[in-house]
Structure 1
Amino acid sequence: MHSNLHIYPSTIEKPIQKLKGVKTAVVVPIPDDHNYHNICACVVREPGSKVTEADVIQAVTDMYTAGDVKNIVAPQHVLFIEDIKVNERGKMNTNSLIDYAVKMIKGSK
């Protein structure tokens, strides 16, 4: 939920994952007093990739302006991380990723 929009993370993840140099991307909510949640894209680059925050945001906004997706919102935050850990079943711990993103964006308070 961002402002009054219900946004599915996969809608934002798909154009980011199509970027050359992106290994994987996961979108998580960051609590916000004004917007309820802001959107954070956690991106793992391929080795040697130079994908930037601007590239990630542009990939999402290009999809929006192309008219393929309605009511999409570009991420307000982009974090480049080394890896996204998964358990033995291949599932990631989304809550720990959210906690890490909040800590990186808002600092440890």
Structure 2
Amino acid sequence: MDSEGWLKTGDLCYFNEDGFLYIVDRLKELIKYKGYQVPPAELEHILNSHPDILDAAVIPYPDEDVGQLPMAFIVRKPGSKLTEQQVMDHVAKLVAPYKKVRRVAFVSAIPKSPAGKILRRELIQQAVSMGASKL
């Protein structure tokens, strides 16, 4: 607890107009793009609202010029022909320019813990091992 009585949990939260507390993301999981903070959970919510997306996860992809790029791993719905550009365009219409998804990879499943939490470290390792030439 700090001197003002706040418990520092590392969660990103907000109070709504009725005084209810909402936890929306983890501070440690924020993507740092050109000094801006981009919450992966916000982008995942937008991606999962797309009719051709079955599941999605967003990770920070290391980049020398900007720090980290938002990268999306997408599981398409069966029969979908969704493209990388369509995914990026969908997000770009709904977010500020610094929050746009800059890379996309299609996968058969998003790795998750038994509790259903996205295993971002596994995705980051997979993205880095794939290298820029294979994306």
Q: TM-score, normalised by structure 1?
A: 0.83
Q: 2:54 aligns with which of 14, 19, 23?
A: 23
Matched residue, 1:59 = 90
Task: Single out whichever of 87-96 and 72-81 deviates more from structure 2.
Answer: 87-96
Q: Secondary structure at the match of 1:85?
A: coil
Indicate the structure whose relative CO is greater, using CA pairs within 8 Å and at least 6 residues apart. Answer: 1
Matched residue, 1:87 = 113
1:102 aligns with 2:128: yes
Using the aligned pairs only, state the percent identity: 27
Greater fraction strand = 2
The structure 1 segments of at least 4 consecutive aligned residues displaced by more than 3 Å after TM superposition are none
User: In the alignment, is the contact (CA less than 8 A) between 1:12 and 1:72 conserved in 2?
Assistant: no
Deviation at 1:71, TM superposition (A): 5.7
Task: Give the aligned CA root-mean-square deviation in angstroms.
Answer: 1.6
- Where structure 1 has 5 or more consecutive residues not aligned to the other structure, the ranges are 65-69
- Where structure 2 has 5 or more consecutive residues not aligned to the other structure, the ranges are 1-31
1:10 aligns with 2:41: yes
Q: TM-score, normalised by structure 2?
A: 0.68
Structure-1 separation of matches of 2:80 and 2:65:
34
